[in-house]
């Protein structure tokens, strides 16, 4: 059993080896994590979130065709001096933001054997400390403090902490689903904290233990690596992080869930990605006002569903 740790998590692991098939053909040559959400790659939001939560050491678990991610987080001296010469301070600052935000390291996954296997590649980097895992498809609004809440819960209870969201029963088969202990729950800054009693990866709707889904944020104890080494392939023939967490529960390690009550933007499929871009752009100070007024006109002119547009 792990006891509450005096040592807080300082490191973040971001798996980026996925093939991005839902965005083909764009992702044939561009990693899906670099697709722009407004004007920044989705991945930059994730790294900024980790840094804001006090995790400046980031490891990306990459795979084939992901070299552009390393370039993105590296300095670009020619571009920087060209912008300096032009006196374009604003764009220069935008370029620096991508490299200054965190210390980014890389490790290759080698074979794509699932999320659990990707996380296992981080064991040497993480060592013996609790650490966070952030998945790139879920963006959490910068005004909400999900990861900070999760880190506080982990520091208090030890073990693992996962982010949960009620996605409704009809959608639960796309996610890891959890069973929780009933009864009174602790609340951290609006987010409910629950004790997780079981987990199952992408269950059929009728077998799901609840409509609470794992969204892509985890704070994990280093003991998860030993469990992952022994976790057999599960759903889809892949080594599932969800299965390793289920083993932690069986072994009596505390696993808590933080039920997120804030704003989440899903960039995992095309329609949700489009919605995320529009929502985030509409809220920006620079693009928001003209976009919102255009959107109002655009929506007013939309033909009713079923009518043909010429």
Nearer to ligand G1P, 154 or 242 (CB): 242
Asked if 211 touches ligand G1P (CB under 6 A), the answer is: no
CB of 130 to ligand G1P, least distance (A): 19
Total residues binding ligand G1P (CB under 6 A): 14
Cα 123 from Cα 117, distance rounded (Å): 11
Q: Does 57 bind ligand G1P (CB under 6 A)?
A: no
Q: Does 27 engage in binding with ligand G1P (CB under 6 A)? A: no
175 binds ligand G1P (CB under 6 A): yes
Residue 260 binds ligand G1P (CB under 6 A): no
Reduced to 3 DSSP states, what percent helix, strand and coil does the chain have, rounded to the nearest 5? Answer: 40, 25, 35
Residue 46 CA to residue 265 CA, distance in Å, equals 12
Name residue 113's beta-bridge partners: none
| 115 near ligand G1P, rule: CB under 6 A | yes
The residue at minimum Cβ distance from ligand G1P is 176
Piece in contact with ligand G1P (CB under 6 A), picked from 67-75, 151-159, 209-217, 246-254: 209-217
Nearer to ligand G1P, 21 or 309 (CB): 21
Nearest C-alpha neighbor of 239 from the set 120, 99, 67: 120
Q: Which two tokens stand for residue 70?
A: 């390393």
DSSP conformation letters of 190-255: TEEEEEEEEEEES--GGG-S-SEEEEEEEEE-TTHHHHHHTPPP-GGGS--HHHHHHHHHHTT--E
Distance, CA of 5 to CA of 187 (rounded, Å): 21
Of the candidates 134, 111, 107, the one whose C-alpha atom is nearest the C-alpha of residue 12 is 134
In the complex, least distance from residue 101 CB atom to ligand G1P, rounded to whole angstroms: 23
Q: Is residue 109 within the footprint of ligand G1P (CB under 6 A)? A: no
By CB under 6 A, residue 20 contacts ligand G1P: no
Asked whether position 242 contacts ligand G1P by CB under 6 A, the answer is yes
| Candidate list 158, 176, 221, 257; residue touching ligand G1P; CB under 6 A | 176
- Evaluate whether 51 touches 18 at the Cβ level (below 8 Å): no
Which residues lie near ligand G1P (CB under 6 A)?
115, 135, 137-138, 175-176, 201, 213-216, 240-242
């Amino acid at each position: 059993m792990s006891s509450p740790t005096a040592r807080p998590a300082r490191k973040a692991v971001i798996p980026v080896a996925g093939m991005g098939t839902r965005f083909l053909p764009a992702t044939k040559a561009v990693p899906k994590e670099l697709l722009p959400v407004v004007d920044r790659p989705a991945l930059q939001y994730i790294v900024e979130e980790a840094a804001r939560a006090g995790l400046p050491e980031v490891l990306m678990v990459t795979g084939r065709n992901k070299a552009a991610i390393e370039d993105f987080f590296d300095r670009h001296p020619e571009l920087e001096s060209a912008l300096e010469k032009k006196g374009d301070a604003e764009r220069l600052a935008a370029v620096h933001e991508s490299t200054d935000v965190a210390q980014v390291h890389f490790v290759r996954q080698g074979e794509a054997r699932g999320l659990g296997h990707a996380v296992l590649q981080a064991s040497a980097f993480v060592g013996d400390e609790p650490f966070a895992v952030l998945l790139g498809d879920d963006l959490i609004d910068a005004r909400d403090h999900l990861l900070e809440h999760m880190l506080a819960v982990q520091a208090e209870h030890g073990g693992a902490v996962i982010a949960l969201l009620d996605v409704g029963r009809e959608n639960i088969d796309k996610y890891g689903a959890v069973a929780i202990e009933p009864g009174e729950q602790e609340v951290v800054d609006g987010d409910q904290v629950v004790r997780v009693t079981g987990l199952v990866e992408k269950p059929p709707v009728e077998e799901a233990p609840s409509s609470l889904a794992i969204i892509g944020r985890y704070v994990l104890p280093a003991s998860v690596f030993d469990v992952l080494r022994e976790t057999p392939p599960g759903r889809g023939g892949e080594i599932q992080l969800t299965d390793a967490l289920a083993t932690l529960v069986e072994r009596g390690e505390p696993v808590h869930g933080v039920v997120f009550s804030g704003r989440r933007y899903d960039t995992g499929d095309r329609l949700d990605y489009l919605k995320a871009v529009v929502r985030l752009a509409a809220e920006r100070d620079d693009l928001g006002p003209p976009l919102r007024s255009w959107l109002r006109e655009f929506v007013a002119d939309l033909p009713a569903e079923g009518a043909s547009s010429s």
